Structure 1
Amino acid sequence: MTRRFGDTELPEDIERMLRRAMRLEWLSIAFLVTAVTTVYLVMGSSQAMQAAWAEDLLSFIPPIAFLVAVRVTRIRPSRRHPYGHHRSVGIGHLASALALLTMGAFLVWDSTTGLLSQDHPPVGLVVVLGHEIWAGWLMVAAMIYTGIPPVLLGRAKMPLARALHDRVLYADADMNKADWMTALGSIVGVLGIGAGVWWADSAAALFISASILRDGVRNLRVASGALMDERAQTYDGQDPHPLQHRIEAVVCEHLWVDRAAVRVRDQGHVFHVEVFVVPARGAEVGVPALAAVREAVTRLDWKVQDVVVTAVEELLDALVEKEHGSAQEHDPSR
């Protein structure tokens, strides 16, 4: 079955990547069920373990948001939703970011309070198969189990997030890749309790909480910018998307174009593109010429879903800021 994002039929290689990303997210959910259960059973009163457990619970949100968003984005545009349902990706990203931010802030406060009040969490002995062992060793074993698979999953998801231009998948992969720090912090905290360093557990919990809060702040910034129609950025939200300059270059290859600038709106997986062209002096611009530009832009990349080409007398100031390199001029030597 050919998969689509709205009206966008995916190329075969992208379709394969989407199927793989969905399988990885289902695998992540299955793993998280075992991880959350394991950590809950052994965490005791350790603040570091409780923070790690909370982070594992939050880790359910990105894969679920991704799977829901992929399903919703397949719905074709309608009169009520003429732009399609691609914004579901941004909504999922925003929901993930808010959950991380809220829980991170709470855990930072809770960990700081525990550190200031000088809590001494007890870690006693448990009986396993008839033998008494220190409960801390079970905690360490649990964190080793929960720390390694997410890193591998994150590495597998990252190139798929880039290819699919999916920020929810990227946020999930980024969190997965950093899970080893959570596991290591929890292990240090637990071993610190065993060594009699009372503050190690709270300090480790504070480190994990700060990591969750940082993820929340970063993802909230990127998600909010996309929903507020910020200029299209790369999947990680770090740089302007290079497709914008490629579109401008293709438009300026048409002989009747004097100057051109584009406005690219990131809808989630796909882009909506507005092309503004200033015709060369004396050029006659008709529907066939505009249609040819539109066709050339559409062929550039599968992510270009909707293109509007408009002939104008002057380009808007917001589109020609030199620092952004957002406008290109016709090369007379062509």
Structure 2
Amino acid sequence: MTRTKLRFGHTELPDEQERALRRAVRLAWWSIGFLVTAVTLVYLVMGSSQAMKAAWVEDLLSFIPPISFLVAVRLAHRRPSERHPYGHHRSVGIGHLVAGTALFAMGAFMVFDSASGLLKAEHPPIGLMEVAGQPVWAGWVMIAAMVYTGVPPVLLGRAKLPLAATLHDRVLYADAKMNKADWMTALGSIVGIAGIGLGLWWADAAAALFISASILHDGVSNLRVATSALMDAQATTVEGDEVDPVVTRMDALLQGLPWVAEARSRARDEGHVLHVESFVVPVDQHAPSLAALREAREAAIELDWRIQDMIVVPAEELPEEFLPGLAAEREQ
């Protein structure tokens, strides 16, 4: 039986992206399943340790990116409608914004809470607990729990990163980066617990402050990229730190057409896909035929699977009001 091809809106995914999406969805569900066990385990053993509480809160917040990814992917599948003629691709940006906001808000609160505990010189007690009928220092159980919560996320994060790039999915990318950094949370908690065992009362609060600062940093970086994309910034790579190279490649392709004298494009990130407007100046000001415009658009679309919603606009000259970087480029 033929399997139904996956799509984002009216964009049918190529085989590579389809395989990546199916794998990413499986990894998101695996992440959620693991987090259920991790959150339960840490809650049962955390006691009065601030570092353990911070790690527990971070595990709770780690639910947000995979859930946001699954919801955004489901919405992005919907075809464009009369009310949403551009499709539902912005669901990815909304999911990214929600994740970033939650991380920022909770991180800021936890930094304040952890710093207050450090200034108050709170001494968290870690006593004994019974395991298999034997008294055991509770710190060893906490450390074992942190080892369990620290290893699988790193493996999941390493698996998600290439998929995020293949799908151009920033929610998945943020999830992968958080997963890869979870070892620092686990290590920080272990150091804090060990410090208490060695009589260093401040180690626990310091570890909690370190974890809280990591959460806050994730929130700030994700908020910056998410808000920039939602404000129609020039399309960037999935990391959000440089202009997407597909724009330059598209301009080079259009300028290589025999009837085009100049070409410049502007592209905005709709989520997984790009919305592109390309302005072309015909040679000798001769108006191109409809067939020539169609062929130019089709050639550009073949460059990258994300380019579907694209228009090619003939112009007497490149409009600087719509291409703000053009004037500076000409001055160089």
TM-score by length of 2: 0.96
Q: Which residue of 2 aligns with 1:36?
A: 39
Q: Which residue of 1 aligns with 2:137?
A: 134
Contact 2:126 2:137 in 1 (8 A): yes
Q: 1:247 to 1:324 in 2, by over 3 A?
A: farther
Q: How many percent identity over aligned positions?
A: 64
Letter in 1 for 2:188: G
Confirm or deny that 1:82 pairs with 2:85. yes
Letter in 2 for 1:276: F
Q: Alpha-carbon deviation of 1:59?
A: 0.2
Q: Which residue of 2 aligns with 1:5?
A: 8
SS across alignment from 2:39: helix
Q: Which residue of 1 aligns with 2:168?
A: 165
Q: Distance in 2 between matches of 1:300 and 1:324?
A: 27
Confirm or deny that 1:99 pairs with 2:139. no
Q: Alpha-carbon deviation of 1:320?
A: 6.2
Letter in 2 for 1:261: R
Confirm or deny that 1:251 pairs with 2:254. yes
Q: Distance in 2 between matches of 1:282 and 1:324?
A: 24
Contact 1:140 1:190 in 2 (8 A): yes
Q: Which residue of 2 aligns with 1:310?
A: 313
Contact 1:232 1:241 in 2 (8 A): yes
Contact 1:261 1:320 in 2 (8 A): no
SS across alignment from 2:284: coil
Residues 179-328 of structure 1 correspond to what in structure 2 (within 5 A)? Answer: 179-317=182-320, 319=323, 321=325
Contact 1:73 1:86 in 2 (8 A): yes
Q: Alpha-carbon deviation of 1:48?
A: 0.3
Contact 1:52 1:186 in 2 (8 A): yes
Q: Alpha-carbon deviation of 1:22?
A: 0.4
Q: Which runs of 4+ in 1 moved over 4 A?
A: 322-325
Q: Distance in 2 between matches of 1:109 and 1:323?
A: 46
Contact 1:87 1:268 in 2 (8 A): yes
Q: Deviations over 1:231-282 (max 9, x none)?
A: 0000111111010011101111111111110011110000111010111115
Letter in 1 for 2:178: M
Letter in 1 for 2:96: H
The alignment covers a number of residue pairs equal to 326
Q: Alpha-carbon deviation of 1:283?
A: 2.6
Q: Distance in 2 between matches of 1:324 and 1:207?
A: 43
Residues 9-24 of structure 1 correspond to what in structure 2 (within 5 A)? Answer: 9-24=12-27
Point out where structure 2 has 5 or more consecutive residues left out of the alignment. none
Q: Distance in 2 between matches of 1:204 and 1:324?
A: 48
Contact 2:150 2:182 in 1 (8 A): yes
Q: 1:323 to 1:96 in 2, by over 3 A?
A: farther
Letter in 1 for 2:116: T
Q: Distance in 1 between matches of 2:93 and 2:312?
A: 26
Contact 2:287 2:314 in 1 (8 A): no
Contact 2:156 2:179 in 1 (8 A): yes
SS across alignment from 2:242: coil
Letter in 2 for 1:313: E
**How large is the RMSD of aligned CA atoms in angstroms?**
1.3
Q: Alpha-carbon deviation of 1:285?
A: 1.6
Point out where structure 1 has 5 or more consecutive residues left out of the alignment. 328-334
Q: Alpha-carbon deviation of 1:36?
A: 0.2
Q: Alpha-carbon deviation of 1:321?
A: 2.6
Q: Which residue of 2 aligns with 1:115?
A: 118
Q: Alpha-carbon deviation of 1:54?
A: 0.2
TM-score by length of 1: 0.95
Q: Which residue of 1 aligns with 2:127?
A: 124
Q: Distance in 1 between matches of 2:41 and 2:114?
A: 22
Q: Deviations over 1:208-252 (max 9, x none)?
A: 000000000000000000000000000111111010011101111
Contact 2:128 2:137 in 1 (8 A): yes
Q: Distance in 1 between matches of 2:300 and 2:307?
A: 8
